[in-house]
Amino acid sequence: MKRIMTIQDLSCFGKCSLTVAHPIMSAMGLEVCPIPTAILSTHTAGFQDWTFRDLSADLPRIEAHWKSQGLTFDGISTGYLGSGEMIGMVADYFRAFPEAVKIVDPVFADNGRLYPAFDQAYAAGMAGLCAQADVIVPNLTEAAFLLGEEYVAGGYDEDYIHGLLRRLAALGCRVAVVTGVNYDGVHQGAVAYDSAADSFTQYFRENIDVSFHGTGDIFTSALAGAIVLGKSLGDALRVAVDYTVDCILATMPEKETHWYGVKFEACLPGLIRAVQGDKAASV
Ligand code: PXL
Ligand 1 nearest-atom number relative to CA 82? 12
Residue 23 has pLDDT above 80, yes or no: yes
9 Cα nearest atom in ligand 1 = 5
**Domain-by-domain residue ranges, the chain?**
3-275
Nearest to 182 by CA among 157, 213, 150, 164: 157
Q: Which residues, other chains included, contact 57 with Cβ-Cβ below 8 Å and sequence gap of 6+?
A: none
Residue 109 near ligand 1, beta carbon < 6 Å: no
Nearest CA to ligand 1 atom 7: 43
Instruction: Please give the distance, rounded to the nearest whole angstrom, from the Cα atom of residue 123 to the centre of ligand 1.
Output: 15
CATH superfamily of 3-275: Ribokinase (3.40.1190.20)
Task: Indicate the pLDDT class of residue 283, thresholds 50, 70 and 90.
Answer: very low
Q: Is the pTM of this model over 0.95?
A: yes
CA dihedral 81, 82, 83, 85 (to 10 degrees): -40
Beta-carbon neighbour count of residue 95 at 10 Å? 9
Task: Give per-residue pLDDT as tens, 70-85.
Answer: 999 999 999 999 899 9
